[in-house]
Amino acid sequence: MRPGIALIARRLCLLAGIWISGAGGPAGAATTERIVVNRFTGVAIEGFDPVAYFVTGAAAQGTAEFEANLWGAVWRFRNEGNRASFLAHPEIYGPQFGGYDPVDIARGVIVAANPHFFAIVAQRLYLFSREDNRDAFVADPERFLYEVGKRWPALQETLGQ
């Protein structure tokens, strides 16, 4: 292969690798922000209602009719009551670690969670990137939270302000 063609081939492979490595997470979810938001809309946790996890025990989409802006993100809710509850107590209803997977944080990496995989532990909402991460966390939350406590402050510094 000629040197010029080899260089172009290497660059294309590099670009393809970068593109492929960005695939697989929630569509458009940013991994450089303090809160997981859709980079195109600014909507947090893909528009799921964070209060609904507590009220119904299930992931439920919020609507544009009931929105709130907090922590640099747009949050959506199913109704005004959920919106009011969130604004009164965002530290309870907001996803812990900004919606990043605590199991991955415990491993030292930041991965945007999928709002379909969640757990409520000690009255706090945790979101996970994969079902097996959720299951591992629920089996031993103290162990993971201990590891997260050691790693989260430094990882958080790498996120946008």
- pLDDT tens across the length of the chain (161 residues): 455 444 334 443 333 332 323 333 444 455 557 899 998 999 999 999 999 999 999 999 999 999 999 998 999 999 999 999 999 999 999 999 999 999 999 999 999 999 999 999 999 999 999 999 999 999 999 999 999 999 999 999 888 65
Q: Identify the pLDDT of residue 159.
A: 84
> β-strands 124-128, 114-121: how paired?
antiparallel
- Number of separate domains in the chain: 1
- Whether this model's pTM surpasses 0.85: no
Range of the domain at 8: 3-157
- Spell out the SS3 assignment of the chain: CCHHHHHHHHHHHHHHHHHHHCCCCCCCECCCCCCCEECCCCEEHHHECCCHHHHHCCCCECEEEEEEEECCEEEEECCHHHHHHHHHCHHHHCCHHHHECHHHHHCCCCCECEEEEEEEECCEEEEECCHHHHHHHHHCHHHHHHHHHHHHHHHHHCCCC
Q: Identify the pLDDT of residue 29.
A: 53
